[in-house]
């Protein structure tokens, strides 16, 4: 076992008794939600997972140690200002230099797998970014896609943020042989919006079928599964507002020269400010629903 990995007792116990565990990531708390709101969301996600009969394992790095499952005090630290955003490539440096950091989908999935956790809930998967100006090559492709291709963890999310090139992201997922399964939807969701222009190749309508797909997939490959669950209909963002904020947000990025790992947090914040809180409700509620679905699927998987 790595000296840089600490698994909470509750998670270890659940794993050894074959009970369901759901991993939760910390970047969406530290960098995707405003200070003052993130802690209550983090605590609520854990409650939702418990209410559905699974054990939550929020994952973050503190003092150079990856924690699988946080105490309330550790969760508070993760939700305080100034945490680094750690993708998978950043774990080695953060461990060696004993830093704190929030983990993205890429690093959370990798750590969940190290801890034997098979199901993970988040808001939106990272993907291929739109190029600004159009036609240029930004080379901004989230490491989330590569990790999903090589890590046997199911990520439950609401598709990818509409701030990304959804068409390109869907193509990369196909290239990397990651099954994309719609949860009660025929469309690939666009985070704030329930439906993008893209359909999904597969659909399931209940947790048992989702678990059956994951179990079957795991018999022949070590890649992950993407289970996409759209934002609850009552919290979907108004399409016109969404489209306006998206084009304004993209212009702002270019104006300020924002790049790399700062792109996603900057755009999320721009949406939160520009939508009068509507995008924040959408983001919070979609993550909450993904936590519930992930827990229900994890319970089905553990009883197979
Ligand atoms: N879901 C949310 N908010 C977020 C994210 C997901 O509701 O902030 C984060 C995830 O951690 C994901 C990251 O891995 O956005 C993508 O960042 P990037 O595009 O830099 O890879
Ligand atoms: Mn990126």
46, 118, 161, 261: the catalytic one is 161
Q: What are the domain boundaries of the chain? A: 1-117, 124-304
| pLDDT of the residue at 2 | 87
- 262 in a labelled binding site: no
| pLDDT of the residue at 237 | 97
Q: Is the pLDDT of residue 205 over 80?
A: yes
Two tokens, residue 92: 């080695």
* ipTM score for this prediction: 0.96
Q: Under 8 Å CB-to-CB from 132, ≥6 apart: which residues? A: 138, 250, 253, 254
Q: Under 8 Å CB-to-CB from 159, ≥6 apart: which residues? A: 124, 125, 166, 188, 189, 190, 191, 196, 228, 230
Q: Quote the mean pLDDT of the chain.
A: 96
Instruction: Fold for 124-304, please state it.
Output: Indigoidine synthase fold (3.40.1790)
- 180 in a labelled binding site: no
- Cα 207 to the center of its chain, rounded Å: 19
Helix ranges (H only) for 151-225 are: 166-175, 207-217
Q: Are strands 84-86 and 65-68 parallel, antiparallel or unpaired?
A: unpaired
For residues 53-80, average pLDDT: 98
Q: Which atom of ligand 1 is nearest to the CA of 124?
A: 1
Residue ranges around ligand 1 (CB below 6 Å): 25, 27-28, 31-32, 104-106, 122-124, 126, 142, 144, 261, 264, 268, 283, 287
| pLDDT of the residue at 131 | 76
For residues 80-86, average pLDDT: 97
Phi, psi of 295 (to 5 degrees): -65, -40
Residue 25 annotated among the catalytic residues of the structure: yes
> For 142-195, how does the pLDDT look when each residue is reduced to its tens digit (9 = 90+)?
999 999 999 999 999 999 988 799 999 999 999 999 999 999 999 999 999 999
CA angle 273, 185, 55 (to 5 degrees): 75
| pLDDT of the residue at 270 | 95
Residue 73 annotated among the catalytic residues of the structure: no
- Distance in Å, CA 263 to ligand 1 centroid: 10
Among protein residues, the one with the nearest Cα to ligand 1's atom 20 is 261
| pLDDT of the residue at 168 | 94
Q: Which residue has the higher pLDDT, 130 or 62?
A: 62
| pLDDT of the residue at 134 | 72
In CATH, the number for domain 1-117 is 3.40.1790.10
Query: Which ligand has the shortest distance to the CA of 24?
Result: 1
Equal CATH topology for 1-117 and 124-304: yes
């Amino acid at each position: 076992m790595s000296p840089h990995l600490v698994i909470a007792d509750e998670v270890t116990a659940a794993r050894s008794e074959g009970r369901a565990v759901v991993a939760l990531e910390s970047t969406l708390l530290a960098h995707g939600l405003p200070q003052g709101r993130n802690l209550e969301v983090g605590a609520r996600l854990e409650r939702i997972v418990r209410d559905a009969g699974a054990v939550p394992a929020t994952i973050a790095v503190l003092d150079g140690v990856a924690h699988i499952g946080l105490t309330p005090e550790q969760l508070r630290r993760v939700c305080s200002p100034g945490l680094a955003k750690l993708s998978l490539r950043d774990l080695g440096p953060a461990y060696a230099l004993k830093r704190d950091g929030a983990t993205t989908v890429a690093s959370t999935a990798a750590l969940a797998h190290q801890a034997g956790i098979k199901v993970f809930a988040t808001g939106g998967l990272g993907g291929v970014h739109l190029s600004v100006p159009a036609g240029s090559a930004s080379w901004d492709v989230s490491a989330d896609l590569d990790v999903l291709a090589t890590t046997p963890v199911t990520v439950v999310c609401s598709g990818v943020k509409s701030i990304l090139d959804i068409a390109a992201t869907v193509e990369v997922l196909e290239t990397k042989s990651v099954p994309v399964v719609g949860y009660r939807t025929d469309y690939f969701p666009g985070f704030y919006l329930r439906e993008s222009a893209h359909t999904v190749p597969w659909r399931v309508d209940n947790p048992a079928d989702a678990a059956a797909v994951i179990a079957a997939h795991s018999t022949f490959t070590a890649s992950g599964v993407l289970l996409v669950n759209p934002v609850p209909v009552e919290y979907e963002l108004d399409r016109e507002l969404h489209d306006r904020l998206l084009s304004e947000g993209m212009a702002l990025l270019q104006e300020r020269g924002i790049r790399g790992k700062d792109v996603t947090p900057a755009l999320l914040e721009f949406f939160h400010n520009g939508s009068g809180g509507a995008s924040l409700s959408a983001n919070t509620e979609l993550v909450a629903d993904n936590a519930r679905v992930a827990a229900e699927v994890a319970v089905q998987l553990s009883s197979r």
